[in-house]
């Protein structure tokens, strides 16, 4: 009879402890991590359930599967259309679709996937006198950012401009000048996003924000040009 069946729920062992096979939900965690997760309630079973619930969502060990999908979708779409246009004869429609995909990707990563997946945000503000201020923010409590989400987000974010630079080199060799604009746009927008989120991580000059309802720290306040 296990401890649970005996009605003793306050022990330090968990159901399934005797059985070393991890469940699919938590197979990416070590045994330590699986059973030492502590949430707000203090009860280890509740906290473990809470931990699993927040990081295992619809069959994927990441916190935001839809955001992850869109983080990739427009980038892959732009690449796909770009390569398809190399062999297709039409110019205008693939060009327009590529430009739109790259723009949507920039907007999605900047406004949606960044704040959902890693809790970071950056933007530009124009003051009363016309000067520019760049703002970089992070969520105050970053403990619940899923590790898969974070890993995936940063890898894809940095890989995009690098990949497009390689494609630019290849297309210079293949001499397709009409697509340089698309290439340049992808590189510029991708690097812009990468720069913005990189700055969010720096963590200098943290100013405590109003912490009601989970406040957010203003991480960096500077001026640009």
Q: Return all residues near 85 (Cβ < 8 A) that are at least 6 apart.
A: 91, 94, 95, 98, 179
Range in contact with other proteins (rule: CB under 8 A) among 23-31, 48-56, 76-84, 117-125: 117-125
State yes or no: residue 92 binds other proteins (CB under 8 A).
yes
* Distance in angstroms between the alpha carbons of the first and the last residue of the chain: 70
**Tokens 């004869």 sit at which residue?**
89
58: left (phi over 0), alpha (psi -120 to 50) or beta: left
Closest CB 74 distance from other proteins, rounded Å: 14
Q: Which of 134, 168, 218, 221 binds other proteins (CB under 8 A)?
A: 218
Smallest Cα–Cα separation from 82: which of 200, 183, 222, 157?
183
State yes or no: residue 91 binds other proteins (CB under 8 A).
yes
Output the CA torsion 74→77→83→84 (10° steps).
-150
**Tokens 């729920």 sit at which residue?**
9
- Beta strands (DSSP E) in 25-108 are none
Q: Which of 14, 28, 73, 95 binds other proteins (CB under 8 A)?
A: 95
Task: Give rounded-to-5 percent helix, strand, coil for the chain.
Answer: 55, 10, 35
Closest CB 130 distance from other proteins, rounded Å: 5
Range in contact with other proteins (rule: CB under 8 A) among 13-21, 30-38, 48-56, 124-132: 124-132
State yes or no: residue 6 binds other proteins (CB under 8 A).
no
**C-alpha distance from residue 212 to each of 12, 115, 138, 215 (Å):** 34, 18, 15, 6
Cβ proximity to other proteins: between 64 and 75 the closer is: 64
Smallest Cα–Cα separation from 185: which of 207, 168, 202?
168
Q: Which of 103, 147, 150, 191 binds other proteins (CB under 8 A)?
A: 103
Size of the site for other proteins (CB under 8 A): 36
Closest CB 193 distance from other proteins, rounded Å: 14
Range in contact with other proteins (rule: CB under 8 A) among 32-40, 43-51, 76-84, 122-130: 122-130
Q: Which of residues 135-194 bind other proteins (CB under 8 A)?
A: 137, 139, 178, 181
Cβ proximity to other proteins: between 6 and 212 the closer is: 212
Cβ proximity to other proteins: between 75 and 121 the closer is: 121
Binding site for other proteins (CB under 8 A): 90-92, 95-96, 99-100, 103, 107, 111-112, 115, 119, 121, 123-126, 128-132, 137, 139, 178, 181, 209-210, 212-216, 218, 225
């Amino acid at each position: 009879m296990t401890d649970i069946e005996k009605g003793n729920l306050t022990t330090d062992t968990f159901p399934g402890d005797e059985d070393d096979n991890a469940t699919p939900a938590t197979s990416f965690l070590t045994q330590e991590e699986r059973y030492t997760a502590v949430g707000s309630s203090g009860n280890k079973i509740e906290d473990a359930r809470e931990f699993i619930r927040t990081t295992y969502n619809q069959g994927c060990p990441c916190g935001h599967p839809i955001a992850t999908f869109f983080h990739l979708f427009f980038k892959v779409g732009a690449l796909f259309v770009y390569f398809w246009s190399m062999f297709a004869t039409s110019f205008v429609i693939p060009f327009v679709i590529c430009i739109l995909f790259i723009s949507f990707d920039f907007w999605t990563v900047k406004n949606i996937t960044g704040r959902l997946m890693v809790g970071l945000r950056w933007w530009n503000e124009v003051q009363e006198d016309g000067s520019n201020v760049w703002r970089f923010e992070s969520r105050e409590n970053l403990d619940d950012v899923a590790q898969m989400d974070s890993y995936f987000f940063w890898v894809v974010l940095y890989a995009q401009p690098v990949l497009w630079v390689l494609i630019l080199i290849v297309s210079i060799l293949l001499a397709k000048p009409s697509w340089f604009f698309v290439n340049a746009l992808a590189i510029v927008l991708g690097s812009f996003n990468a720069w913005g989120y990189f700055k969010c991580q720096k963590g200098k000059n943290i100013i405590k924000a109003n912490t009601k309802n989970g406040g957010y720290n203003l991480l960096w306040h500077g001026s640009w040009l």
